[in-house]
Structure 1
Amino acid sequence: MDAITFPNGPITMAGDLHLPGDIDRTARHAAVVVVHPGGGVKEQAAGLYAARLAEQGFVALAFDASYQGDSGGEPHHLEDPYARVDDVRAAVDHLQTLDFVDPERIGALGICAGGGYAVNAAMTDYRIKALTTVSAVNIGTSFRRGWYGADSDAAAVPTLRAVAQQRTAEASQGAEPAYLPYVPAEPDENTPRDLVEAGEYYLTPRAAHPNAKNKLLFTKSVSRIFTFDAFHMVEDLLTQPLLVVAGSEAGSLWMSTELHGRARTAKRLRVVEGGTHMDFYDVPKYLDQAVAEAVPFYEEHLAARPAGRD
């Protein structure tokens, strides 16, 4: 694994480039951009998937989102969906500069919110030839409608009013910037199971990392997230082959099934029995199954330039 940096406009991105152990640098290889969840960093789930893909012969790039982790951009702890999508494009840019990567054989794999960002990037960047989502989350829809998707979009209005009040306090009253947690530090009986497990992942030695601080800049992040729809126009603009992997017990499953149902390209939905949302981050049984689905998918669709729709 090589620690690298690459440009994204004025921002310097930090990444880990995972390479097959026996890589022939005189040949051109298929590559996969791996997009981390909201609140995550490259050393967590994204790095695990990148390492597994490299073991199977792919060049795989995991990176920290702009404004997060070791990547540049200020203010830090900003979750900007539009920047996150552009990060994916910048990662493809970098892979295409590498002599040992075939620029026509680049795929993407996104986990959780990274899945939604990867979908949105693929819809407007056809250099991405094949796409996999794992425990996909459409972050804007999830923030507006709740983890289970039970609320209406109008449920976002009180939060947006709070954003407006906080912006006023920061702009004219000298208030300190406010932050939200990505995952609840003190869950209660009303906390969805997946988010309880997210706390167990991010906030304990299981996967805690000093660059994943469970902080989301309130005003600047929420106003961007709430109007974002990762799947907007997916019916018409997503032309690449699509693999959707999710657990049968995940509260987020509805977002994966919605994506699969709406996409009109060559597609496959793999629902793994018994899996929760967080199981696919690092639990070997589920991580192995997701990789086992993704590897032949990429071997098929990155072996030569995909034709697109069936």
Structure 2
Amino acid sequence: MNTKSVTFLSNNIPIAANLYLPQGKPAGALVVGHPGTGVKEQAAGLYAQLLAEKGFITLAFDAAYQGESGGLPRGLEDPAQRIEDIKSAVTYLQTIYDNNIGVLGICASGGYGVAAAATDHRIKAIATVSAADIGRQFRNGGDGKQSMAVIQGMLDMAAADRSAKEPGSFPLFPTEEQAKAMGLHVYEGWKYYCTDQGQHPRSAKAFQWRSVELIAGFDAFRFADMIAPRPLLMITGSNAVTTWMTAAAITTAQSPKEHYIIEGATHVELYYKQPYVNRAVEKLQTFFNDKL
């Protein structure tokens, strides 16, 4: 396997990516999207490397406004741009592999990938791992139990930020003590992004307040039924509190579709932890070999 650093444009924003090239004839080509606060060197890079070892050309990239990619202001999370990034990544892969191309989205990129596939027929198969619709995440919380007062309060702050002399940002992670008090899901996310377990110096630690307005009205799975007859695979852990979002997507989508559950895994453990990641990769290999 060979790895190359490459750049492509998305709405004229330079997007930094790592291209993984397998030995021998490729089994297919895959765009791999990272979680909402991640970068290409974390979970997306791990899956891209492992799938390249299975024979796929893979492309893991940093979202616009984040990581090594361009775009101002820094730390903006724009769902429309994130979807465009995926589509632009497909365009880039077409320049080196003129054949069927699939998309793998992890966490928030799972939601963005579903939305991209709904309207881009060049995407021949879509898979997700620990999928999250960032709109539902902000409105309802990771477990779906958050009071609507939380997002309303954030929209108040976003409105105030619009009137400020200079735009500001909000932190994405609580303190360690706060994370522990907020339950296993939040604490696992804190450990992955804020300790040596998975942290990276370029991963996002704060978002622009404008992001809240862009996210609050977003619905990643609104048009999931438009993916068919192209296939959809969604992988979750049996212990993931976010599975309700995948269930919502599967309910909306039409066949062929599959919800594959990995016993024992949580949402975040599917980012990095063995043997869960290998089980996911084995399922993804079979899926993309069959569908591309």
TM-score, normalised by the number of residues in structure 2: 0.94
**Residues 243, 19 of structure 1: alpha-carbon distance in 2 compared, 3 angstrom cutoff:** same
Q: Which residue of 2 aligns with 1:235?
A: 225
Q: What is the correspondence of 1:1-310 to structure 2 with a 5 Å cutoff?
A: 1-20=3-22, 22-24=23-25, 30-98=28-96, 101-103=97-99, 105-151=100-146, 156-168=151-163, 170=164, 174=165, 176-186=166-176, 187-188=178-179, 190-218=181-209, 220-302=210-292
Q: Which runs of 5+ in 1 are unaligned?
A: 303-310
Identity %: 43
Q: Which runs of 5+ in 2 are unaligned?
A: none
Letter in 2 for 1:161: D
Give the superposition deviation at 1:249: 0.9
SS in 1 for 2:7: strand
Letter in 2 for 1:138: D
Give the superposition deviation at 1:84: 0.3
Counterpart CA distance in 2 for 1:158 and 1:182 is: 15
SS in 2 for 1:251: coil
Counterpart CA distance in 1 for 2:171 and 2:20 is: 30
- Equivalent residue pairs, number: 289
Give the superposition deviation at 1:141: 1.1
**Residues 67, 300 of structure 1: alpha-carbon distance in 2 compared, 3 angstrom cutoff:** same
Give the superposition deviation at 1:63: 0.2
SS in 2 for 1:102: coil
Counterpart CA distance in 2 for 1:78 and 1:238 is: 31
Counterpart CA distance in 1 for 2:208 and 2:41 is: 21
Letter in 2 for 1:2: K
Task: Encode CA deviations 1:281-309: one digit per residue, 9 max, x unaligned.
Answer: 0102111111011000000001xxxxxxx
Give the superposition deviation at 1:254: 0.6
If you compute each CA radius of gyration, which structure gives the higher value, 1 or 2?
Answer: 1
**What is the aligned-residue RMSD (CA, Å)?**
1.6
Higher alpha-carbon deviation: 110-119 or 6-15? 6-15
Q: Hey, which bits of structure 1, 4+ residues long, moved more than 4 A?
A: 151-155
1:185–1:203 contact (8 Å) kept in structure 2? no
Counterpart CA distance in 1 for 2:120 and 2:226 is: 14
Give the superposition deviation at 1:261: 2.1
Letter in 1 for 2:195: T
**Residues 189, 225 of structure 1: alpha-carbon distance in 2 compared, 3 angstrom cutoff:** same
SS in 2 for 1:32: strand
Give the superposition deviation at 1:111: 0.4
Counterpart CA distance in 1 for 2:262 and 2:282 is: 12
**Residues 291, 61 of structure 1: alpha-carbon distance in 2 compared, 3 angstrom cutoff:** same
Counterpart CA distance in 2 for 1:229 and 1:96 is: 28
**Residues 155, 6 of structure 1: alpha-carbon distance in 2 compared, 3 angstrom cutoff:** same
TM-score, normalised by the number of residues in structure 1: 0.89
